């Protein structure tokens, strides 16, 4: 196994043997550990001393179900702290099959505005890297650029890269990967990591896995048995089985569910209910496609080996595709959060986020804050699309909007910034779902639902049941347990959605542990796995403390303490001690 170090100062690379400390790590566990070990937490995120790390998961590149995730890590230009953002894409297993544990991007070009393509390939004995000028790809729509890259490097390569948002250094920029149809739709979106990649003059990392030897598994038979148990659990659970909730309606099935619960943030978190929710929900996506295509269309895999298959495509009245994919978070951010109930319009906004390389969550939050500040009215679809193009052109207002939720609120003098540590909140109202509010406040990543998805017990009744409206000290314990388990899951390379099955079906969780043990020759228990997640969180927390963060950064926005949220008319009434208890007990 190797670590590939790419130096953008002189466009060179070197291979390193994987240190003992990293051998049993992958995904988030590896990216956060490398950032903790090698990056000065006081460095400027867009300066030469930050590093950008790509790491396949612990079992990525194998036949484990739904395991093709890649983690990307760096110091975030959005939060100023450590960041891990992950995506499912064929790029990650392609890297893993070259026996590359991580790619570490260092330095930056001497001349600002230089952009390069780094091609990773197998030279017959080991991985190698070639550099070429990326000038032809700069400043353009990614939907136009991706076919050019495949034409030059071959139809079987895979792409990681940035759009114009990353080139401009936007804090809402993501890193894009090709999907199963070679479109630029799979994003490590959160935290502005596209800007870090852009600051290093790296436009694309193209991976050609031809001839790669594949991953090594210590005990192949035991691995197959573990994967079988997990696959069976995924095939049995109501949310993850074929033609189940996610495969039929996609993640946007949550729009109506959260709206009914009074926890769907609407018009920049002014209400927990959106009257237009049924028009943009997963059910509407399914029914519109059925009407327009003349058949029922179930969802597809975002990456190789995915058995959940929750990614949708959305079609226009003439049968042409508008975009893939409208995720719940994107649907909410660019729909309910902006007061927009036009599903075709939401799809177009998602398309332009993909084209320019911005995170749909942060972008929707930024536009909603601009609307809340009176720049354009809530519900103004044409105005929202125009603002997307301002971002794409890099105009002054476009650059303000690209700066992230908190930056936009400051620019407009608006105290209603729904953000933590600078990062905009996702699609769950923390006043109406108290546990996810604790996660938003205390995760090392800034407001992030995926860091500790208490929605599972609070809304879906998965893994037990917790009253979402209850202001209880136990919400700290709930969030901590989910954050620790999630840090481990993010390290394995499995999609977070396997959590639904493994929380309810014990054999599924056991199968996951058996996979990891068989992969590395370990004897890990479930408790050991959760403890490993806790160790990862401690490293991330230590980095953030070094960057100047304290417990005072582990708080929800002040306006949520005094603005009562309809329809339940609730505020954030959890005392500070509950938030402080999350890390204090680790």
**Same domain? 416 vs 446:** no
**Do 149 and 6 fall within a single domain?**
yes
| Domain shared by 450 and 464, yes or no | yes
Q: Say what the pLDDT of residue 290 is.
A: 98
- d(CA 199, CA 197) in angstroms, rounded, equals 5
* 434 and 398 within one domain: no
Same domain, 388 and 355: yes
Percentage of the residues of the chain whose pLDDT score is greater than 90: 99
Contact in structure between 243 and 237 (CB atoms under 8 Å) = no
Q: Output the six-digit token pair for 502.
A: 């493994």
The whole domain housing 394 covers: 251-298+311-426
Backbone phi and psi for residue 181, each to the nearest 5 degrees, phi listed first: -115, 20
> What is d(CA 479, CA 73) in angstroms, rounded to the nearest whole number?
22
Q: Are 530 and 410 found together in one domain?
A: no
Domain count, the chain: 3
Task: Tell me, yes or no, whether 305 lies in a domain.
Answer: no
Distance CA 56, CA 94 (A): 9
Same domain, 412 and 528: no
The closest of 263, 261, 580, 264 to 441, measured between CA atoms, is 580
Mean pLDDT by 10 residues, the chain (586 residues): 97 97 97 98 98 98 98 98 98 98 96 94 97 98 98 98 98 98 97 98 98 97 98 97 95 97 98 98 98 97 96 97 97 98 98 98 98 98 98 98 98 98 98 98 97 97 95 96 98 97 96 98 97 98 98 97 98 97 81
Give the pLDDT confidence score for residue 97 in this predicted structure: 98
Kind and range of the H or E run holding 323: strand 321-323
Residues 449/439, Cβ–Cβ less than 8 Å: yes
pLDDT in tens, 97-127: 999 999 999 999 988 889 999 999 999 999 9
- Residue 238: inside a domain: no
Mapped to the 3 state alphabet, what secondary structure does 164-199 carry? Answer: HHHHHCCCCECEEEECCCCCEEEEECCCCHHHHHHH
Whether residue 321 is contained in a domain is answered as yes
pLDDT digits (tens, 9 = 90+) for 494-519: 999 999 999 999 999 999 999 999 99
d(Cα 74, Cα 119) in Å, to the nearest integer?
21
Q: What is the pLDDT of residue 411?
A: 98
Last residue of a domain, one of 208, 236, 270: 208
Select from 208, 227, 242 the last residue of a domain. Answer: 208
The structure tokens 């600051």 sit at: 199
- Host H or E run for residue 312: none
Q: What is the pLDDT of residues 431-455, one digit of tens each?
A: 999 999 999 999 999 999 999 999 9
421 with 437, same domain? no
Assess if residue 505 is contained within a domain.
no
What is the reported pTM?
0.98
Say whether both 285 and 391 belong to one domain.
Answer: yes
User: Which residues, in sequence order, are bridge partners of residue 565?
Assistant: 570
Residues 80, 93 share a domain? yes
Q: Are 56 and 96 in contact (CB under 8 A)?
A: yes
pLDDT of residue 112: 86
414 & 435 share domain: no
């Amino acid at each position: 196994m190797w670590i590939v170090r790419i130096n953008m100062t002189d466009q060179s690379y070197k291979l390193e043997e994987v240190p003992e400390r990293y051998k049993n790590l992958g995904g988030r566990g590896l990216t956060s550990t490398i950032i903790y070990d090698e990056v000065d937490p006081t460095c400027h995120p867009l300066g030469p001393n930050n590093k950008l790390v790509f790491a396949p998961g612990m079992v990525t590149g194998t036949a484990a179900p739904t395991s093709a995730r890649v983690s990307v890590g760096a110091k975030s230009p959005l939060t100023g702290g450590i960041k891990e953002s992950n995506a499912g894409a064929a790029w990650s297993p392609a890297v893993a099959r070259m026996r590359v544990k991580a790619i570490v991007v260092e330095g930056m070009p001497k001349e600002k505005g230089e952009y390069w393509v780094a091609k990773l390939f197998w030279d017959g004995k080991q991985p190698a890297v070639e550099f070429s000028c990326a000038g032809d790809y700069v400043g353009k729509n990614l939907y136009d650029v991706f076919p050019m890259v495949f034409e030059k490097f071959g139809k079987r390569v895979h792409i990681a890269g940035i759009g114009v948002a990353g080139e401009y250094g936007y804090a809402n920029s993501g890193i894009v990967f090709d999907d199963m149809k070679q479109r630029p739709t799979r994003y490590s979106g959160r935290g502005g990591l596209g800007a870090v990649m852009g600051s290093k003059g790296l436009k694309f990392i193209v991976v050609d896995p031809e001839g790669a030897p594949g991953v090594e598994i210590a005990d192949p038979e035991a691995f197959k048995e573990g994967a079988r148990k997990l696959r069976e659990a995924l095939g049995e659970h109501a949310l993850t089985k074929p033609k189940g909730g996610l495969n039929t309606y996609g993640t946007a099935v949550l729009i109506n569910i959260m709206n009914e619960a009074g926890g769907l943030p609407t018009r920049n978190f002014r209400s927990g209910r959106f009257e237009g929710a049924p028009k943009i929900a997963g059910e509407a996506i399914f029914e519109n496609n059925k009407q327009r295509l003349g058949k029922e269309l179930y969802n597809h895999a975002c990456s190789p080996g995915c058995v959940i298959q929750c990614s949708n495509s959305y079609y226009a009245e003439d049968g042409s595709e508008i975009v893939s994919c409208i995720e719940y978070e994107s649907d909410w951010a660019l729909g309910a959060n902006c007061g927009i109930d036009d599903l075709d319009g939401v799809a177009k906004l998602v398309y332009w986020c993909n084209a320019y390389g911005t995170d749909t969550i942060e972008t929707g939050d930024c536009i909603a804050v601009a609307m809340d500040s009176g720049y354009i009215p809530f519900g103004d679809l044409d105005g929202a699309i125009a603002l997307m193009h301002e971002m794409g052109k890099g105009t002054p207002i476009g650059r303000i909007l690209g700066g992230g939720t908190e930056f936009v609120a400051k620019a407009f003098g608006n105290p209603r910034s729904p953000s933590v540590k600078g990062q905009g909140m996702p699609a769950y109202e923390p006043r109406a779902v108290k546990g996810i509010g604790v996660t938003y406040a205390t995760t090392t990543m800034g407001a992030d639902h995926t860091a500790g998805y208490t929605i599972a017990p609070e809304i879906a009744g998965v893994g037990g049941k917790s009253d979402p409206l209850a202001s209880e000290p136990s919400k700290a314990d709930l969030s901590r347990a989910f954050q620790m388990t999630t840090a481990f899951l993010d390290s394995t390379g499995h999609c977070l959605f396997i959590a639904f099955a493994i929380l309810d079906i014990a054999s599924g969780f056991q199968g996951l542990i058996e996979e990891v043990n068989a992969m590395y020759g370990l004897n890990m228990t479930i408790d050991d796995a959760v403890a490993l997640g806790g160790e990862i969180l401690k490293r991330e927390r230590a980095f953030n403390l070094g960057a100047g963060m304290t417990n005072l950064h582990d708080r929800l926005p002040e306006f949520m303490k005094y603005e009562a949220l309809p329809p339940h008319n609730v505020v954030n009434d959890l005392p500070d001690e509950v938030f402080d208890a999350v890390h204090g007990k680790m």
